[in-house]
Amino acid sequence: MLKLLTLILALVPQLIPAPAEMQVRGGSFLVTPPSNNKIEFRLEPDCGLPAEGYTLEVTRSRVRAVASTEAGLFYARQTLNQLEENGRIPCVTIKDYPRFAWRGFHLDPCRHFLSVEDTKQYIDILASYKMNVMHWHLTDDQGWRIQIKKYPRLTEVGGTRTEFDGSVHQGFYTQEEIKEVVAYAAQRHVTVLPEIEMPGHAIAAIRAYPGLSCTKETVNTFYTWGSPDIVLCPGREFMFEFLEDVIAEVVELFPGEYIHIGGDECKKDKWEQCPHCQARIKALGLVADDKGTAEEKLQSYAIRRMEDILHKYGRKLIGWDEILEGGLSPNATVMSWRGETGGIAAALQGHDVIMTPSKEGMYLDHYQGDSKIEPVAIGNYTTLEKAYAYDPVPAELVQNGKEDHVIGLQCNNWSEYIYSNSHRQYMLFPRAFAVAETGWTPKAKKDWESFRVRVDKACRDLDRRGVNYHIPLPEQPGGSCDKLVFTDKAVVEFTTTRPVAAMVYTVDGSEPTAASARYTQPLEFTRDATLKIASLTSYGKLSPVRTITIRQEEPMEALPAAAVESGIRSSRADGRFVTVADTQGAAWKEIKLEKLRDMNTLEPFDRNMPDTLRFYAVQAQACFNVKETAVYRFSSDCDQVWIDGRLLIDNGAQVKRYSRQDAEAALEAGPHSVKVVYIYNVIGGWNSIRNKTDVQIMRAGSGKWRKIELL
């Protein structure tokens, strides 16, 4: 059935986004060099098509595209490019136009920088799928990435951060480079929306110019993720002078009508303590009421002043949905990211809205498969199907006649956990294609079954361009694990997040190929094996290969009564350790711990990461009990877990978040020993003081994790 559907769908042109109207006829137009004069692109301002719309007529003898704008002709060209296969263009009649004016994608060079060339490549690819806005998140706590001539320290100092391990991360775009990107985008009918973050997410600017903060403290450009509470000070006039100076340079570089001023996740603690902020609150007569706290109203005041500045330069303001708190500026457009609630509220008040809700499928930094085997991500779960299913027009706005205030949608690609451009590609593609289709194609024409087949052609396009993308991995229902153990027989089952042509595997240690054995039913093992398994796409490409060791074990003997101790024996060593190997030779001192959970409480958590932090490592040894002789699976975000003297989990120098080193062991009923090593450090921007420092255990196959209970 699936094969038949695939075959039928393969006969119609595989376009993304699907056009509004298309008739396919028999035959095709042959593209040969002399045929050029038979391909016509006509600009007809009075043709009656919507601004970005076009018609395309392909017959055996000619190709004719008509549009009322250059953008329309550009999109006709993209459709034609997608239609052409091996010099043939199928005969079609297409009338096409977008559902939404705003079809956005967002890049975050602050957390991990990306080059001008890589930025252009995203523009090039996504414009060919008819997206038309690139939201460029240019400033944040972890880096200021846009040259501002009046404030050179923003990029000289705020463009660089030193990571925990001493490595340096840096980069910024000169104004010339920005002009180059903006011009490149304009040629592809993409508008670049710059974001200059205020009043939160501004540590990089404060590092460069401490006078921007409430207490003028000296800070480091932030090298962890999350929100510090050091923010800009709207009590001081300098903040507004600074931002106006920045905006004055920004508007010279970006011709679009909007400027994004951020506005999200601004902690207000410092404002509560700041005499300047409190004086401003008093002078303005801001008081807490049911619309917000005095500090929220101070933020609202700051956003209004930004709006005034932007109006002076003939621009409009966009902000994240927090700008609703304390009252929305008169003409602000809202980007709704914390769900749709903010967007709905703003639209009901008559404001324009761009929908980019995180948990509803628009955050492409989320996991797109099982977190146990996917590369570490920020969390959550957004499969291609979920991204595709999102519709940006809530029923409530339709009921109230306000749906036209939803001017479009956008996917965001926050880059905290994106350590390379290849990985950025992996997170964006193919999910961004789903967003492209929702942005363009009439709702009634959207169809997941058709899209998931068409997306394979778009992925082959990425292969031609040398661009990485996600292919669903073989996953184990109930949680994937690469280190399996059995006592008499193992049964290993696999599935994928969306249909693939097949899963292929080997058990002889060789790398699987398209010709390897196909997975058709759960695999049974009665001997030790190394299973290598990958997904196979319809066009013969393999996903990354999973290597799973499957070992037969005798259950580890329970500890003799004399060896069983209650409580935790633990010791601490101070220092900046990246891995357990770094703790060799450290001075360990005995400490008292009540619970494994306490390992990360030996120093206070300070979200601002001052230089005075004392990093350390802890070793903890204890006994625990299992009720039945069985295979157990262990999981932990600590650095190492040893069971009965055997190293079972070693997170090495990996980001210690969302454990990906789960492992099984067969244990006899009764007491066993566990040793845990925890290091308070920052790897890949993740501060391990925020971890739960315990060990999770489950009876293999039960799917029920619980905390290991110590004796």
Residue 197 or 482: the one with the smaller Cβ distance to ligand ACM is: 197
C-alpha–C-alpha distance, residues 428 and 113, integer Å: 16
The CB-nearest residue to ligand ACM is: 264
Residue 337 or 390: the one with the smaller Cβ distance to ligand ACM is: 337
Two tokens at 282?
Answer: 């008093």
Selection from Zn ion, ligand ACM, none that 533 binds (CB < 5 to 8 A by kind) is none
DSSP 347-404: HHTT--EEE--IIIIIBTTSBSS-TTTSPP-SSSB--HHHHHH--SS-HHHHHTT-GG
The phi and psi torsions of 5 (rounded to 5 degrees) equal -60, -45
Residue 303 or 529: the one with the smaller Cβ distance to ligand ACM is: 303
> In this structure, are residues 267 and 228 in contact, taking their beta carbons and an 8 Å threshold?
yes
Q: Give the shortest CB-563-to-ligand ACM separation in angstroms.
A: 51
> In this structure, are residues 53 and 130 in contact, taking their beta carbons and an 8 Å threshold?
no
Residue 233 or 253: the one with the smaller Cβ distance to Zn ion is: 233
For the chain, give me the number of helices (H) and strands (E)?
A: 16, 36
Q: How many residues bind ligand ACM (CB under 6 A)?
A: 4
| Marked catalytic residue, from 165, 180, 244, 265 | 265
Selection from Zn ion, ligand ACM, none that 493 binds (CB < 5 to 8 A by kind) is none
The phi and psi torsions of 404 (rounded to 5 degrees) equal -70, -15
Residues numbered 391-420 forming contacts with ligand ACM, rule: CB under 6 A: none
C-alpha–C-alpha distance, residues 366 and 412, integer Å: 10
Amino acid present at 96: D
What residues contact 508, with CB distance under 8 A and at least 6 apart? none
Site string for ligand ACM, 222-261 (x = CB under 6 A): ----------------------------------------
140 classed as catalytic? yes
Amino acid present at 702: S
C-alpha–C-alpha distance, residues 459 and 471, integer Å: 9
Selection from ligand ACM, Zn ion, none that 276 binds (CB < 5 to 8 A by kind) is Zn ion
201 classed as catalytic? yes
Amino acid present at 547: T
Q: Which of 692, 445, 688 minimizes the C-alpha distance to 580?
A: 688
Residue 210 or 379: the one with the smaller Cβ distance to ligand ACM is: 379
**Residue 100 touching ligand ACM (CB under 6 A):** no
Q: Give the shortest CB-412-to-ligand ACM separation in angstroms.
A: 6
Residue 40 or 217: the one with the smaller Cβ distance to Zn ion is: 217
Across-strand partners of 21?
Answer: 95
C-alpha–C-alpha distance, residues 431 and 439, integer Å: 13
What residues contact 380, with CB distance under 8 A and at least 6 apart? 358, 359, 363, 366, 367
Selection from ligand ACM, Zn ion, none that 459 binds (CB < 5 to 8 A by kind) is none
Residue 323 or 558: the one with the smaller Cβ distance to ligand ACM is: 323
Two tokens at 152?
Answer: 């050179």
C-alpha–C-alpha distance, residues 525 and 318, integer Å: 58
Selection from Zn ion, ligand ACM, none that 320 binds (CB < 5 to 8 A by kind) is ligand ACM
Selection from ligand ACM, Zn ion, none that 447 binds (CB < 5 to 8 A by kind) is none
Position among 57, 118, 163, 264 found at the interface with ligand ACM (CB under 6 A): 264
Q: Give the shortest CB-91-to-ligand ACM separation in angstroms.
A: 46
Selection from ligand ACM, Zn ion, none that 274 binds (CB < 5 to 8 A by kind) is Zn ion
Where on the chain is the footprint of Zn ion (CB under 5 A)?
214, 233, 235, 274, 276-277
| Marked catalytic residue, from 108, 140, 352, 482 | 140
Beta strands in 204-322 (DSSP E): 258-262, 316-320
586: left (phi over 0), alpha (psi -120 to 50) or beta: beta
Q: Give the shortest CB-265-to-ligand ACM separation in angstroms.
A: 5
What residues contact 493, with CB distance under 8 A and at least 6 apart? 476, 477, 522, 523
Selection from Zn ion, ligand ACM, none that 265 binds (CB < 5 to 8 A by kind) is ligand ACM
Q: Give the shortest CB-102-to-ligand ACM separation in angstroms.
A: 16
**How would you class 54 by CB atoms within 10 Å of its CB: exposed for 0-12, middle for 13-18, buried for 19 or more?**
buried
**Residue 265 touching ligand ACM (CB under 6 A):** yes
- In the sheet that 63-67 helps form, which strands lie side by side, from edge to edge? 21-30, 88-96, 54-58, 63-67, 39-43
**Residue 136 touching ligand ACM (CB under 6 A):** no
| Marked catalytic residue, from 106, 137, 189, 201 | 201
Q: Give the shortest CB-140-to-ligand ACM separation in angstroms.
A: 10
Residues numbered 311-350 forming contacts with ligand ACM, rule: CB under 6 A: 320, 337
Site string for ligand ACM, 274-313 (x = CB under 6 A): ----------------------------------------
404 classed as catalytic? no
Query: Could you tell me the sign of the dihedral formed by the alpha carbons of 74, 80, 83, 86, in that order?
Result: negative
Q: Give the shortest CB-201-to-ligand ACM separation in angstroms.
A: 8
Q: Give the shortest CB-232-to-Zn ion separation in angstroms.
A: 8
Q: Give the shortest CB-264-to-ligand ACM separation in angstroms.
A: 4
Q: Report how far Cα 295 is from the mean position of its chain's Cα atoms.
A: 30
What residues contact 52, with CB distance under 8 A and at least 6 apart? 69, 71, 72, 75, 97, 98, 101, 130, 132, 189
The catalytic site residues sit at 140, 201, 265
In the complex, the residues that contact ligand ACM under the rule CB under 6 A are: 264-265, 320, 337
